[in-house]
Amino acid sequence: MKDWMKLKNDPRLLRGIGLAGCGICSCLLSAASFNGIQIPLNTALSAALSPTCGIAVLAGSLFTYALTGTLTKGPVFLCAIALTALLRWLISMQHTPRAAAMLAASGTALSAVIFSMARMIGGRELIFWGIGAAFAALFAACIRRTAERFECGLPVRLHAGDAAAFSVCFVILTAALCSVRVFMFSLGQIFSAFVILTAAKRYRTGGGMICGTLAAFALLITDADAAGFAAVLPAAGLAAGFLAGRRSELLFLVMQLFLGTGTVLCGCNVAAARIWVNAAIGGLLFLFLPSQQIADRILQWSDGDADLAALTGARLDFLSDSIAGVRGSAEQIVSKLAKAEGPSDAVRHVREAVCEKCSYYAECWVRGDDEVQRCFRELAAAGITEQHAAPFRCLKPEQVTAEFIRAKKQSAAAKAFAARLRDTQTLLFSQMKITEALLHCAGQQTRRTYHRELTRYVTDVLGRMQIPLLAAAVSETENGRLLIELYMPLCAEPDAELVTELLHDALQKPLECCGTEEAGGEKRLLLQSTGGFSVSTAAAQCAVHDDEPCGDCWDTFSDQSGAVYLAVSDGMGTGKNAALDARIVLSNFRQLVQSGMDCRAAADMVNAIMLTKSGDERFATLDVAKICTDSAAVTLYKYGAGPTFVRQGEIVTVCQAANGPIGILPKTEPYTVNLQLSRGDLLFLMTDGMDESVFPFIRQRLRQGGDLQELVHTLCGRAPRSANGTPADDVTVLAAVLSGTAIDE
């Protein structure tokens, strides 16, 4: 896969594919017949592309004219292409649509003038070539506008201002394809039927009618006798768009019904019947090919909202970076001030406060009395409660002793204040870092591809079922998964399974529910399209005391990218207090991750919450397995958690490490492991209630496999027990097995 991705991004390969595509397009346009009229389309193509591509267009045109035996009939066309390519080389200008139009018009007009001076074309033909130069300029501008969008990469984001240029290019391409026939089959007619059904399914009535109208126009300019039948295409696209929420087979049948009606109205002639058959082939391609996925990979409708989303994302990222800069500067200042503060010197303080005012100061300190200095050092090293006498012959022993005690108390108070200040600074910097992560996640979410038509369609479907809805958004994640966000009033009680089933039937896509979250007065329901792998889970628990809840908690959920999370938390001790700590950790972690936050940032924020929860020392472990359902890549995050067993084929490995849990230190770092699993592999998470004496049995039982629920109950039952038969500690086991295959990208 990596070699293919590297090859796909090779600029030489892309350049070669582009030149080959230009040659094929020039061959297609050279062979195209527009009701017996030749139009200088290749001149427009040469003007709209790079000089190298212009040479490829000239070569493709020469090849086509030579192959069809019309080389002597098209010298003006070939000269116009050559002149346009030459002007493109010689004239250095910004390659805009306007510049492309000027080049195409200049090359076509100059070629006509040259052949007119050579008396190879007459006056009427000059008028024709003048009109041809105007058409070439128009087509070149449209092709250049379209090429600019494709040069930005796939999928192309089509804006409202690009609609005219893309429409002209679609008509030209469809008309050229209509001229390509293999027996009775026309590539253009097959292509147009496929596009009409795909647009109707994707963009409903508007997309079906617009593409039907454009396809009808393309059919008219290639065959004027098909005018009666072409009039049916917009109506067929409109009818298919009305049924966009139904099954694809129904759209196909309705379109065939309209086209069959058009065939009957045209008198059942051979041309109409041929178009009907070709449209049926295009409809079958729509049914059996992933038409919507193909369309989304190539072209996606966008508008001003996309620009606003990009601007919002950039602003949030800038704000996040600004907070990071402020935090970094503050941390540097605090670090420098901490280094500048030296340890307090009680000896010097007492000497300056008491001894320098004494008449014996010179004898004790200037002349260097070792006995006095030794005694002062002992007083400075002694604790506040320890009793030490002042130096022998000291005139102010009570003042010296009292001053030492006062200096030590001040020093202890200063150290306590400094410790509290450091804790406050650490917590503040942690909160600023978490704010950066939240803003960055919000900025990333705005860069998704949001589908306005699908959003409206989802809203209509739920509205017909009288499901209360505040807002909805249908977007596409970076890995191509469809994400549906539904926001409802808190008082609403939607059945997540019912909503998932309704939208599955309406969109004809397999969907899964990621869970329901509450915040303020709203409730959010997340749905997403399924990935290449599915994850089945099972869990079992046992508590130390039957009359108290288990001090461990577990949870499984999905995030907005389609990843599945297995999470286990073990609270300190046993019983309801431990269960409360574990539930706080898991519930907050889940909510933050489903809001779009990274696992590490979410754990840091939960750690800050646990630190400020109470004055008592309360902590809980956190064990997380993040499973990517597209590739089966797994990442383990362990915060003081128990071991994790991984079965890959017949091999069973253990992942464990000794690090701190959540809620002890201001900064916590997880122990992470990256794994690549495949179909049938198993993950087994457990708390520390299972000690190493049970590990051999766990390995053996995991190799044997079997029913997942029976497996976790069996392993949970083997937990170490005390003399009276009760478990020595709360035990929780959570297992997951992967099934399915990866999506071939």
**pTM for the full predicted model:** 0.54
- Whether 745 maps to a domain, the answer reads no
Assess whether pLDDT exceeds 50 at residue 304. no
My answer on whether 535 and 523 are in the same domain is no
pLDDT for the residue 366: 65
CATH at 683: 3.60.40.10
- DSSP letters of 243-255? TTTS-HHHHHHHH
User: Which residues neighbour 231 within 8 Å (Cβ) at sequence distance 6 or greater?
Assistant: 216, 262
My answer on whether 295 and 320 are in the same domain is no
pLDDT level of residue 444 (50, 70, 90 thresholds)? low
Triad 469, 482, 627: Cα angle to 5°: 115
Number of compact structural domains in the chain:
5
My answer on whether 494 and 633 are in the same domain is no
- Whether 174 maps to a domain, the answer reads yes
Least confident of 1-5, 486-490, 565-569: 1-5
Ramachandran bin of 485, using left for φ above 0, alpha for ψ from -120 to 50, beta for the remaining angles: beta
Assess whether pLDDT exceeds 80 at residue 146. yes
DSSP class of residue 727?
Answer: B
Rounded (10°) angle between helices 232-242 and 248-265? 160
My answer on whether 139 and 8 are in the same domain is yes
Half-sphere exposure of 259 (CA within 13 A, CB side): 31
My answer on whether 294 and 433 are in the same domain is no
Average pLDDT over residues 157-185: 79
My answer on whether 538 and 612 are in the same domain is yes
Q: Return the residue matching tokens 């949970």.
A: 716
H helices of 446-495, where? 452-464
My answer on whether 483 and 416 are in the same domain is no
My answer on whether 475 and 440 are in the same domain is no
Q: Which tokens sit at 281? A: 């082939």
Residue 467's domain comprises 449-528
Which of 419, 445, 471 is at the close of a domain?
A: 445
CA 75 vs CA 98, 221, 374, 658: distances in Å = 26, 24, 112, 81
If one compares 485 and 369, the residue with the highest pLDDT of the two is 485
Assess whether pLDDT exceeds 50 at residue 277. yes
pLDDT for the residue 636: 92
pLDDT for the residue 744: 38
Average pLDDT over residues 466-478: 78
Task: List the beta bridge partners of residue 654.
Answer: 645
- Whether 130 maps to a domain, the answer reads yes
Which of 422, 445, 468 is at the close of a domain?
A: 445
My answer on whether 317 and 431 are in the same domain is yes
- DSSP letters of 521-552? TEEEEEEEE--SEEEEEEEEEE-SSTTS--SE
Which of 528, 560, 583 is at the close of a domain?
A: 528
- Whether 163 maps to a domain, the answer reads no
Instruction: State the burial class of residue 111 (Cβ atoms within 10 Å of its Cβ: 0-12, 13-18, 19+).
Output: buried
If one compares 68 and 627, the residue with the highest pLDDT of the two is 627
pLDDT for the residue 1: 41
pLDDT level of residue 361 (50, 70, 90 thresholds)? low
- Whether 713 maps to a domain, the answer reads yes
- Whether 93 maps to a domain, the answer reads yes
Look over the chain and give the mean of its residue pLDDT values, rounded to a whole number.
76
- Whether 631 maps to a domain, the answer reads yes
- Whether 213 maps to a domain, the answer reads yes
My answer on whether 318 and 285 are in the same domain is no
Assess whether pLDDT exceeds 50 at residue 532. yes
Using the Cα atoms of residue 428, residue 429, residue 435 and residue 437 in order, give the sign of their dihedral: negative
Least confident of 134-148, 185-199, 339-353: 339-353
My answer on whether 283 and 243 are in the same domain is yes
If one compares 134 and 21, the residue with the highest pLDDT of the two is 134
pLDDT for the residue 36: 64
Q: What percent of the chain has pLDDT over 70?
A: 75
For the stretch 288-298, pLDDT in tens is 888 777 887 77
Assess whether pLDDT exceeds 60 at residue 5. no
Least confident of 157-166, 245-254, 431-440, 579-588: 431-440
For the stretch 81-116, pLDDT in tens is 788 878 877 776 667 888 888 888 888 888 888 887
My answer on whether 636 and 669 are in the same domain is yes
For the stretch 608-664, pLDDT in tens is 777 766 555 667 889 999 998 888 889 999 988 888 899 988 888 888 877 888 888
d(CA 30, CA 728): 84
Cis peptide before 155 (omega within 30 of 0): yes
Please name the helix (run of DSSP H) or strand (run of DSSP E) that holds residue 437, with its range, or none: helix 397-445
